[in-house]
Structures are given as structure tokens and as C-alpha cells.
Amino acid sequence: MAKKDKSRRTEILEKAAHLFHKRGYAATSIRDIAREMGMESASLYNHIKSKQEILQAFLIPLAKQYTKSIHEINTAPLTSIQKLERIIASQVRITIENTDGVSLIPNEWVHLDGDALSEFIEMRNEYEQVFKAIFKEAINDGFIRPVNIEIASFSILSTLRWLYSWYSKNKNINTLELEKELVTNLIGGLKT
């Protein structure tokens, strides 16, 4: 029975993420999610506590996944430019594997409450700090020409944050090809 409940919960979370992606968190009600599931709203509460729980179930694990990935890359025996390339590839993979969930990151995180909001912001800031430190290291190592780190980081990370939007319409592209193209487009022009 527990396995059935878990799979039903997972199905609810996936449908909710799709609706949040399509309509936005604020414009999607529990009733909308229940209707999408073909069930009554009251029945939905047997699997989830609230809409907030659904949002947290996507954003917090994704933020943890991004943070874990960048720390693993940062501590790997790689050059600074290889680290930047791996970070881009990692974000591409996470986006492809979790397109609806990732679509919630740019705008819907503001709807998180309390500790979940604080935790998300802390992980986002940590991710950006590590990225900028690696970027600075790539400049100091001579792989990247001297540029404004804040502007370059903003440009690269913004493109990666919004990749889900482009990918949603272009799912036929090969993952490795997309990784290669984004590395070339986002870092290629900055190399010395």
C-alpha cells in the first residue's frame, strides 16, 4: 500500500509541477491539481498537505542537487575552465531531467514560506558564490580574459536558469550536443 501511495503522490507532484509551469503557482489551485488528477480535492489531501508542500518538494531538492553538483565539480581535480564547462553541462542535464521542476526556479521560489524560503535563498547564494569564485580562478589562471565577473556570471547563470523555456520547445536535441553548444556559446567568447 505504501508503494501505491508513494507513486500516487509522485504523480500528483508531477501534475502540479506541470500546472505551476503552465499557469504559475499563484494561479493554480488545489482544485485544479485534483481535477488534473481526476480526483476530488479532499482526496488529494490524503497524499499532500498543501500547495506549499508541493512547491517545496520541487524547489528544495533541486536547489540541493545544484549545490551538491557545483561542490563536487569544485573539489574535483580539474582546471578552472574544465570546472566551468562541467557546471554548464550539469545544469543542462538537471534541466533536461526535471524541466517542469526547473521551470519553477526563476519565478516561483518567491512563494516559498519560512524556513524553506531561507534555505532556498541560502543555497542559491552559495551556488552563485562558488560559481563566481571558479570564474575568477579561470581569469587568474589565464583561461578567461579579464571581464566583469558579476556581469559575465549573471549572463551565464541567467541563460542556464531560463534554459527550461527553450528546451520545452526543442526536446528533440541531443543532450551532449546541447551541453557542447552552450559551453561554446557561454564560455567560448570569453576564452583567451
Query: In this predicted model, what pLDDT tens digit does every residue of 100-149 receive, in sequence order?
Result: 889 889 889 999 999 999 999 999 999 999 999 999 999 999 999 999 99
Task: Read off the pTM.
Answer: 0.87
- The secondary structure of residue 49, as a DSSP letter, is S
DSSP per-residue codes, 136-152: HHHHHTTSB----HHHH
Rounded to whole angstroms, the Cα distance separating 90 from 101 reads 15
How far apart, in whole angstroms, are the C-alpha atoms of residue 95 and residue 111? 21
Q: How far apart are CA 147 and CA 27, in angstroms?
A: 41
The top-scoring range by mean pLDDT among 1-15, 42-56, 93-107, 147-161 is: 147-161
pLDDT tens, residue by residue, 30-43 = 999 999 989 888 88
Q: Can you list the domains of the chain with their CATH numbers?
A: 1-48 (1.10.10.60), 51-190 (1.10.357.10)
